[in-house]
Amino acid sequence: MLELDKLLEKLVADGGSDLHVVSGDPVRMRIHGDLMSITDQPVSAKEVYEAFKEIMTMRTKEVLEADEQADFAYELEGKARFRANIFRHLNGVGGIFRSIPTDVVPLEKLNMPPVIDSICRQKSGLILVTGKTGSGKSTTLASMVDVINTTQKGHILTIEDPIEFEHQRKSCLVSQREVNHHTKTFSQALHSALREDPDVILVCELRDLETMSLAVTAAETGILVLATLHTNSASATVDRVINTFPVNKQPHIRTMLSTSLRAIVSQQLLKTADGNSRVAAVEILVNTSAVSNVLREGKSEQLENLIQSGGNVGMQSMDSALHTLVREQFIDPQTAFEAANDKGQFTQYLKKTS
């Protein structure tokens, strides 16, 4: 019998980020970015499905039957929370469980650039935190929300799928809504949010045109909107937002973005030099008058140069962040080389270690 709770407890105890339980394969666990087997034998479709049935609610089972996949949050009471995705595949059923820290990590403990603290103290506008899956976007956003929750008085509304970090009320009223549980869709919840007197709206992902349009509109109306996208740089993020809209509406969206965007934080999680942890490499774009002009004119290819010259307002490129992490010996040169955009800049480090 597959004891899922014990496997999840092992994930937490070993400092892993994800548990992979996929029928037809051994159980695997991701630790500091590496995926490794933790059982000798493959697990069968029947034992996997029976284990999943034990933790799914009736509603989640109905969603799985109807859509062949389901997202939900699962909690080991008093121990840990997990974001779960159950799906059907060639050999039966599989599930991925992402470990969510019980407590929100304070921003100062994430080794983030100081400008992040001032970014999340904005009163209105759009802040985007981007990166691939598993890059720590949710952790960064939770820490930013915690800064707001601690230092300001207002109403924070989160729209998530599923709810990951549970924010305790501090100086702010916090309302957390889960898609498919408290609302049908992101766009429906966001449309409703505009009538719920929020000061801050967190949208865990801008997935479609309607959600993105509503988020930009909300930012324009004086609400601070925090959201994520699966893009790997500031320029790619701008292009993704603009290109989501029909061609005839893109000039208008560029204008709205030029005035409403506050910052883009793009990050990667990289294994530390000692192999015992991971650290974030962060690219930061802050909206200045020069950036605003570039956004309005649709010249996103110029953003890289503006980032490189914007250090006085806290901007930094991804490659600059990687240089710093290598010099401070947080990561090794090979890791930096693999993560870099301009790999030629990092061959000097590789020569020193060869």
Same domain, 307 and 197: yes
Low-confidence ranges of the chain (pLDDT < 70): 351-354
- Residue 327 domain-assigned? no
Nearest to 116 by CA among 107, 103, 124, 126: 107
Same domain, 86 and 142: no
Where among 100, 127, 151 does a domain terminate? 100
Same domain, 195 and 218: yes
- What does the pLDDT read at residue 347? 82
Q: Say how many domains are in the chain.
A: 2
Same domain, 78 and 123: no
Contacts 24+ apart (CB under 8 A), 7-10: 7/38, 8/74, 8/76, 8/80, 8/82, 8/97, 8/99, 9/76, 9/79, 9/80, 10/38
Q: Which domain holds residue 245?
A: 107-316
Same domain, 90 and 177: no
Same domain, 250 and 136: yes
- What does the pLDDT read at residue 320? 96
Same domain, 200 and 65: no
- Residue 335 domain-assigned? no
- Residue 324 domain-assigned? no
Nearest to 55 by CA among 17, 93, 15, 91: 93
Where among 100, 120, 137 does a domain terminate? 100
Same domain, 92 and 140: no
- What does the pLDDT read at residue 100? 87
- Residue 112 domain-assigned? yes
- The answer to whether residues 286 and 263 touch, using CB atoms and an 8 Å cutoff, is yes
- Residue 133 domain-assigned? yes
CATH classification of the domain holding 126: 3.40.50.300
Neighbours of 91 (CB within 10 A): 15
Same domain, 269 and 224: yes
CATH classification of the domain holding 84: 3.30.450.90
- Residue 70 domain-assigned? yes
Same domain, 119 and 65: no
pLDDT by residue (tens digit) across 234-257?
Answer: 999 999 999 999 999 999 999 999
Same domain, 89 and 127: no
Where among 64, 85, 100 does a domain terminate? 100
- The answer to whether residues 229 and 253 touch, using CB atoms and an 8 Å cutoff, is no
Distance CA 156, CA 171 (A): 10
- Residue 337 domain-assigned? no
- What does the pLDDT read at residue 200? 98
Same domain, 123 and 69: no
What residue type is 309 in one-letter code?
Answer: S
78: Cβ contacts below 8 Å, ≥ 6 apart: none
Distance CA 18, CA 232 (A): 21
